[in-house]
C-alpha cells in the first residue's frame, strides 16, 4: 500500500500536533535564523534603494576641487581665479565655491568660552552654492551678495548652536550676525552641515584671505570623467599636482560597499543561527523517535513498510522546519518594513531572499530529519513493542 501526498502530510502533522510546545520551541530556532537572514538582506537592499534614490535626485555629476600638498608637504591653496577658470570648461554647467575664514569662530552668545567652538567652521559662500551642490534651505532664506552681517547655518551647526529657526543672533568673529536661514542636510557636501556660511563680501571684512578652499563643479553626466581629468590643470595651471579632485557620489558608493561587507558578516551570523535551529530540529526528531517506539512497532506490525516509516518522520522534520521558515520569513519581512519606515527608506524585501530562505529551511529539514527517520525505519517491530512496554 502506497501513501499519497495527503497521507504523508496527515501522518507528518499528527506527530507535531501531539507536542505543540516542543514544536514551537524547535521551530523558533529555525525562525530566528531565517528572520535574521531575510531582515539583513531586506534592510541592506532598502538602504541601497534609498541611496540610489538620493543619487538619482542629487546626481552623480558633481565634482569637487580642493587644495592639496606642495612638493615639500606644505599646505597649498587654490588661486582666487580658480572658480572662473573652471567655469570655462565646456561641459561644466555650474560652478560655485566656499572659502574658509580661518580666523573666525562662531558661538551662541558672547559669553561662551573661546575654546568651545563645537567644530563649526566659518565659510564664505557664493550665491550659486545651493543649486550647484543640490542643497536646500530648510527654513528661512539663502545669502545674498552684499556685506550684511547675516549667516546661514548648516543643519548640524544649527543643532550645536541651539538655533532652530531664523531670526536669532550668533556671536561670529567678535560681532553679532543674524541667522537668516538653516540648511537641510547636504549629502554630497557634508562639510556644509557643520558650517556657518556668510557671503563673500561679509567675509572680506573679517580678515578673509580670499582663497577658495573648495570648488564645486556640475558637469554634463556624459562628461564627468573627461572634466575630472582636466580640473586640476585648469584650477591651478602653475601647480596641478597641488590640487585634489574628487567625486562626492563615489564616497556614498564606497559607504554602500562597506554596508555590503557588513551585510555579508550578518548573513554569516544568520546562517549560524539557522544551523543551531537545525540542530534543535534534529534533537526534537531523535527524541520523538525514542518516545514513539510503540507507535512505530505497531505500524510495522500492521504492515507498514520501512520506507513509509522513514517518509513519515522525514515529513515531520520538513514540516517542522518549514513552519519555522515561514514564520521567520514573515518576521524578517516585518522587521525590514518597520526599520525602513523609521528611516524613511523605500521598503524592499527581495523575493529571492524569501525563496532562498525557504529552500534553506527545506535543506535543514532534510538534513535534520534524515538520521532519525532512518533510525525509526530500522527498528524491529517486536523489539519496538517490547521496549515500549
What integer pLDDT is reported at residue 36 of this predicted model? 81
Say how far apart CA 346 and CA 257 lie, in whole Å: 19
Residues 140-161: tens digit of each pLDDT: 999 987 888 999 999 999 999 9
Average confidence score pLDDT of the chain = 80
**Grid cell in block for residue 330:** 514573515
What integer pLDDT is reported at residue 15 of this predicted model? 63
Q: Do residues 100 and 121 touch, judged by C-beta distance below 8 A? A: yes
Angle formed by the axes of helices 293-301 and 381-388, to 10°? Answer: 140
- Confidence class for position 258, pLDDT limits 50, 70, 90: low
**Grid cell in block for residue 86:** 573652471
Phi-psi region of 118 (alpha: psi -120 to 50; beta: other; left: phi over 0): left
Q: Can you tell me whether residue 197 is helix, strand or coil?
A: strand
Statement: residue 314 has pLDDT above 70: yes
Integer Rg of the chain from CA: 33
Say how far apart CA 42 and CA 359 lie, in whole Å: 17
Say how far apart CA 344 and CA 113 lie, in whole Å: 38
Amino acid at each position: 500500500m502506497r501513501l499519497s501526498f495527503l497521507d504523508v502530510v496527515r501522518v507528518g502533522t499528527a506527530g507535531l500536533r501531539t507536542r505543540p510546545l516542543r514544536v514551537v520551541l524547535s521551530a523558533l530556532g529555525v525562525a530566528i535564523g531565517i528572520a535574521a537572514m531575510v531582515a539583513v538582506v531586506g534592510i541592506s537592499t532598502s538602504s541601497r534603494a534609498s541611496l540610489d534614490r538620493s543619487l538619482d535626485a542629487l546626481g552623480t555629476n558633481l565634482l569637487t576641487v580642493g587644495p592639496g600638498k606642495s612638493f615639500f608637504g606644505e599646505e597649498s591653496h587654490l588661486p582666487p581665479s580658480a572658480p572662473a577658470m573652471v567655469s570655462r570648461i565646456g561641459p561644466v554647467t555650474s560652478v560655485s565655491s566656499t572659502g574658509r575664514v580661518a580666523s573666525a569662530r562662531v558661538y551662541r552668545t558672547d559669553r561662551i568660552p573661546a575654546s568651545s567652538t563645537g567644530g563649526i567652521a566659518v565659510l564664505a559662500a557664493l550665491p550659486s552654492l545651493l543649486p550647484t551642490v543640490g542643497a536646500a534651505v530648510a527654513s528661512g532664506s539663502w545669502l545674498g551678495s552684499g556685506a550684511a552681517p547675516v549667516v546661514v547655518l548648516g543643519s548640524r551647526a544649527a543643532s550645536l548652536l541651539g538655533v532652530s529657526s531664523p531670526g536669532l543672533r550668533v556671536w561670529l568673529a567678535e560681532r553679532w550676525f543674524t541667522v537668516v536661514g538653516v540648511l537641510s542636510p547636504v549629502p554630497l557636501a557634508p562639510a556644509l552641515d557643520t558650517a556657518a556660511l556668510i557671503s563673500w563680501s561679509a567675509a572680506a571684512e573679517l580678515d578673509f584671505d580670499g582663497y577658495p578652499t573648495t570648488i564645486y563643479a556640475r558637469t554634463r553626466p556624459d562628461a564627468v570623467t573627461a572634466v575630472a581629468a582636466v580640473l586640476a590643470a585648469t584650477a591651478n595651471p602653475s601647480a596641478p599636482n597641488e590640487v585634489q579632485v574628487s567625486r562626492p557620489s563615489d564616497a556614498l558608493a564606497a559607504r554602500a560597499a562597506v554596508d555590503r561587507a557588513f551585510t555579508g558578516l550578518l548573513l554569516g551570523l544568520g546562517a549560524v543561527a539557522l544551523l543551531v535551529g537545525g540542530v534543535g530540529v534534529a534533537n526534537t526528531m531523535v527524541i520523538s523517535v525514542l518516545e514513539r517506539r510503540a507507535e512505530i512497532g505497531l505500524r510495522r506490525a500492521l504492515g507498514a513498510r520501512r520506507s513509509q516509516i522513514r517518509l513519515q518522520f522525514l515529513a515531520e522534520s520538513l514540516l517542522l522546519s518549514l513552519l519555522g521558515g515561514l514564520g521567520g520569513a514573515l518576521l524578517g519581512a516585518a522587521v525590514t518594513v518597520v526599520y525602513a519606515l523609521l528611516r524613511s527608506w523605500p521598503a524592499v524585501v527581495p523575493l529571492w531572499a524569501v525563496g532562498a530562505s525557504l529552500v534553506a529551511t527545506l535543506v535543514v529539514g532534510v538534513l535534520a530529519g534524515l538520521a532519525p527517520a532512518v533510525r525509526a525505519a530500522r527498528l524491529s517491530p517486536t523489539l519496538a513493542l517490547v521496549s515500549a512496554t
